[in-house]
Amino acid sequence: MAHVSFDSSALKQFVHDNELGEMQAMVNAADQQLRQGTGAGADFRDWLHLPTDYDKEEFARIKAAAKKIQSDSEVLVVIGIGGSYLGARMAIDFLHNSFYQAQAPAARKAPLVVFAGNSLSSSYVHDLIELIGDKDFSINVISKSGTTTEPSIAFRIFKELLVNKYGEEEANHRIYATTDRQRGALKTEADAAGWETFVIPDGVGGRYSVLTAVGLLPIAASGADIDQLMAGAKAAEDTYVDPDLTKNEAYQYAAYRNILYRKGFTTELLENYEPNMTMFAEWWKQLAGESEGKDQKGIYPSSANFTTDLHSLGQYIQEGLRNLMETVVKLDTPNHDQVIPAAESNLDGLAYLEGKNMDWVNTKAYEAVVAAHVAGGVPVMTVHIDKEDAFTLGYLIYFFEVAIAISGYLNGINPFNQPGVEAYKTNMFGLLGKPGYEEVGAKLRQEMADNQ
């Protein structure tokens, strides 16, 4: 089978046979907007050819830096927020042991990669400092500007920790900055201190940046194979070129989710049956939500982890408001399987499953859930992956990136900007008293007082 395949067979009662073909003209137009740069946001399409058109010299430096980190650090602290951390974190979870963070260093065979600067929780930072303790560590700070509040605060704290432990000269050899090629506060500081720097390309937005140094350095430092990751993405780039909906499954997914959206299925749940894909859903939620939620329209992205969430969200999915559609990322061949053992008694009622593989049971649960949810009025699409390895992950990343880009154009929006992200920042700066935002702060404080 292909490394990634799309199954729409459960949509029959929701989408008529003619509807996909009737989307072809719109898909052709969206493809032209994306491929020829005639659509909104054309300056941010460089991710489209990243798997083949990337800086090979920088890629070699990434692998060299990862080896250095592996040789001198027990912990790598990756500082970033949004697209500056979600891609790396989901990839590390996807590609490693489910209990990677709890493994002994000898079993992990690479530094523990941890993340900071993705919240404003002081307890989280305190606990992370305790986790590092006396361990040797390095920092990879990721920010285009170097002035984003959450990572900037975290960087101050962990840079101070690094300098106090090693002295300024050695600390400078343990800081890796992934930032703008030429400008910005972080680039200025990095150049002055002599930190090794990697580039966030101008034409790649944060949510599309996992296959740049943003994601590749932490992923490589964790011991994962970034050559295979890029090879998988290249295979997908080669596959998803033809806009013909009878051939291009990524475009099929984009078209079907728009057909369903126009029928009132306004919330999409990305689901999995493997706990180590939880962060994959978090990465996908930013990709979909930040790309499509504009102009008071767009599919709302949510997620569920099965079978776990069938015991919490299952009731709502089965019988709640009928605005849900589901996309399952289904692993077809697990890295490891487990046989259900026999027992002398049958108090748990599992005698009929003795000798069966757990993955066989997991797959039957998936099939049963699809049947139940479809019968309950919920359309289900499935993206099958054959295994959990770097090649497949690269392929899967590209599948969703190109599908979401096409989906955004099908819905008449710019899939590459995020104007709404700045609204909360302006208010926060006002309340924090940042220079230049005093008027905003005064207005908000007055509004809050009036509402008390």
Q: Check: CB of residue 221 under 8 Å from CB of residue 72.
A: no
Backbone angles phi, psi at 6, to 5 degrees: -110, 130
Distance (Å, whole) CA 384 – CA 363: 12
Tell me how far CA of residue 154 lies from CA of 13, 74, 129, 172, in angstroms: 50, 19, 11, 17
Q: Check: CB of residue 395 under 8 Å from CB of residue 4.
A: yes
Q: Is residue 290 among the annotated active site residues? A: yes
In which element (H, E) is residue 448 found? helix 438-451
Find the DSSP H helices in 333-412. 358-375, 390-410
Distance (Å, whole) CA 250 – CA 279: 21
Backbone angles phi, psi at 411, to 5 degrees: -95, 5
Report the SS3 class of residue 354: coil
Distance (Å, whole) CA 330 – CA 277: 10
Q: Check: CB of residue 111 under 8 Å from CB of residue 307.
A: no
SS3 content of the chain, % helix, strand, coil (to 5): 55, 15, 35
Distance (Å, whole) CA 174 – CA 192: 15
Q: What DSSP string describes 404-437?
A: HHHHHHHTTS-TT--TTHHHHHHHHHHHHT-TT-
What region, left, alpha or beta, does residue 41 occupy, with left being phi > 0 and alpha being psi -120 to 50 degrees?
A: left
Vertex 333: Cα angle to 329 and 334 (nearest 5): 90
Q: Check: CB of residue 135 under 8 Å from CB of residue 74.
A: yes
Q: Which of 109, 135, 364, 425 is catalytic?
A: 425
Q: Which of 74, 249, 282, 290 is catalytic?
A: 290
User: For residue 301, what are the β-bridge partners?
Assistant: 268
Distance (Å, whole) CA 447 – CA 452: 9
Residue 33 is classified by DSSP as H
Distance (Å, whole) CA 117 – CA 85: 9
Q: Is residue 247 among the annotated active site residues? A: no
Distance (Å, whole) CA 199 – CA 331: 33
* Residues involved in catalysis: 290, 425
